[in-house]
Amino acid sequence: MPAGKSDAGLAPLLLTVVELVRQLMEAQVIRRMEEGLLSDGDLDRAAESLRKLEEQVVQLCEIFEIDPADLNIDLGEIGTLLPKAGGYYPGEQSANPSILELLDRLLNTGVVIEGDVDLGLAQLSLIHAKLRLVLTSKPL
């Protein structure tokens, strides 16, 4: 988890997830723009929304005394969660792939995840779920 103010609690983790999702959405906007699927109005609204979300992440980092660079978790041999600034452009290979790049490619290609989940505590199985998740950026 990113370093930061000791009483920040879950804030660093939540901000890391928000930044990952923000960058994934940005990559999808770029892909759709390059495919000619967005009108100028769509593109303007998306760019403004992404800019505001980025500003909010930076502002929350300031409030919780978290260095925004710390949101990019180093996962060792796997690489980093997020690409380094300017290190990834959707549809192009990067020298140092990140988890964001992998997720962006999965969204672009599409993937089906299926399985059973059992959640519990104290050796009690309390919640059972049978899941089938279709994850894609394309209309179903």
Using an 8 Å Cβ cutoff, are 43 and 29 in contact? yes
Secondary structure letter of residue 11 according to DSSP: H
Reported as type and span, the H/E element at residue 105 is helix 99-109
The pLDDT-based confidence of 4 (bands split at 50, 70, 90) is: very low
Q: Longest Cα pair distance anywhere in the chain, in angstroms?
A: 55
- What is the per-residue pLDDT across 84-140, written as a single tens digit (0 to 9) for each? 877 788 988 888 889 999 999 999 999 999 999 999 999 899 999 999 999 999 888
Q: What is the structure's pLDDT at 91? A: 83
- What is the per-residue pLDDT across 51-82, written as a single tens digit (0 to 9) for each? 999 999 999 999 999 999 999 999 998 889 99
Domain ranges of the chain: 11-106
Q: What is the structure's pLDDT at 102? A: 92
User: 135 has which bridge partners?
Assistant: 111
Helix axes 40-63 and 11-34, enclosed angle (nearest 10): 160
> The tokens 């370093």 sit on which residue?
3
Using an 8 Å Cβ cutoff, are 82 and 66 in contact? no
- What is the per-residue pLDDT across 25-50, written as a single tens digit (0 to 9) for each? 999 999 999 999 999 999 999 999 99
With b for 16 or more beta-carbon neighbours within 10 A and e for fewer, the 43-56 pattern comes to eeebeeeeeebbee
Average pLDDT for 4-8: 55
